[in-house]
Amino acid sequence: MSQIRLMKPYIGFDEVEAEFREVFESGIFTRGQHVEAFRSELAAYTGAPHAFLTTSATASLWVCLKLLGIGPGDEVIVSDFSFPASANVVEDLGARPVFADVCTETFNMRPDALEALIGPRTKAVMYVDALGNPTGITEIKRICSAKGIPLIEDAACAIGSSENGVRCGAIADLTCFSFHPRKLISTGEGGGITTHSDEWAQWLTTKLAHGANGMKGVALDFVDYGYNFRLSELQAVMGRKQLAKINAIVNERNAVRDSYIEQLGALGFVAQKVGEGVTYNVQSMVFRVPEGCDRDRLILDLRGKVETTIGTYALSAGSYFAGKYKDVQPVAAKLQESTITLPCYTGLEVDAVCSAIRGVLA
């Protein structure tokens, strides 16, 4: 039996072949009609008036920190259960990532942890929708608004998710998405930014065009310095095709999740909790393993049969950040050691995955 993969893309070559041929024939590989259409469609879908495309979620987060003027002496409070990119961009700009511990059940930043960390040097809060789950972000936004602190949503995993009827992308002040191959929308690599702010949108328009804004005679007018984090036309074609069916993808993944919970709950596996009023895209199917289960051993024993990995990382516990700041957060650290990500995609044989797990645990 071949190994059951962790993720399969929601796009096939037959879906993009005609548009790819059109792009090749036109010779317009960047800044073309598909990039502009994808931007417009991302804004319309999320409910944010402004959307921008980048090369990755990491680039998006970095640009948003630059927009806010984050630098040496500043602090950014970051959800501790995430991929290192969330904190790396803060560190790169000379600021300090201050790690907020998370909820054992939802894996998301706890409001009480956030409030305890806000201080005079806090210049932004970075909330991570852990594994695509936005549960609790509305309360975090309320706290940030009351304190006058900008909220950046690391929604790398959360396209298609929402809380209280508001989609990720329209909740925070700035939202950053990923279109990496592990995500529900994949452009190979890629990212996006959404915002409600007209002022910030103008800044992003200029900065993401090398600093160009308008024309000076027959030439571009470079009114500032800027960057090149462009998504290509071919990538935009892929993104558009998947965004058009994102709601169906989310529904299918939730059906897979329900099947997993029904079978693995009896074995003591506990799924990530999703709050009331939340639509969860199930970007990753993550469980806390049963008490007494050796998670690492389980992952190793499933190799060759089922592709799995850890849930994600306790950023404060990594060698670099733990060595520098010595502020390991206990819940996130425990979740790093006790969670497992299982395959999730349309057409997955959930029974086969659960059977393999039962065989290992027997």
| DSSP of 246-301 | HHHHHHHHHHHHHHHHHHHGGGT-EEPP--TTEE---SSEEEEPPTT--HHHHHHH
The pair phi, psi for residue 69, each rounded to 5°, is 75, 25
Radius of gyration of the chain measured on its C-alpha atoms:
21
Burial class (CB in 10 A: 0-12, 13-18, 19+), 347: exposed
Architecture of the structural domain at 246-361? Alpha-Beta Complex (3.90)
The pair phi, psi for residue 208, each rounded to 5°, is -85, 5
Q: Where are the domains of the chain?
A: 13-243, 246-361
Tokens standing for residue 291: 């008490």
Predicted confidence (pLDDT) per residue in 112-156, tens digit: 999 999 999 999 999 999 999 999 999 999 999 999 999 999 999
The conformation of residue 171, written as its DSSP 8-state character, comes to: S
Three-state secondary structure call for residue 226: coil
Residue with tokens 């879908």: 45
Predicted confidence (pLDDT) per residue in 291-347, tens digit: 999 999 999 999 999 999 999 999 999 999 999 999 999 999 999 999 999 999 999
Say whether domain 13-243 belongs to CATH 3.40.640.10.
yes
pLDDT average, residue stretch 207-236: 95
Q: Model pTM?
A: 0.96
Rounded CA separation 151/63 (Å)? 14
- Position 347 scores a pLDDT of 92
Tell me if 32 sits within 8 A of 259, measured CB to CB. no
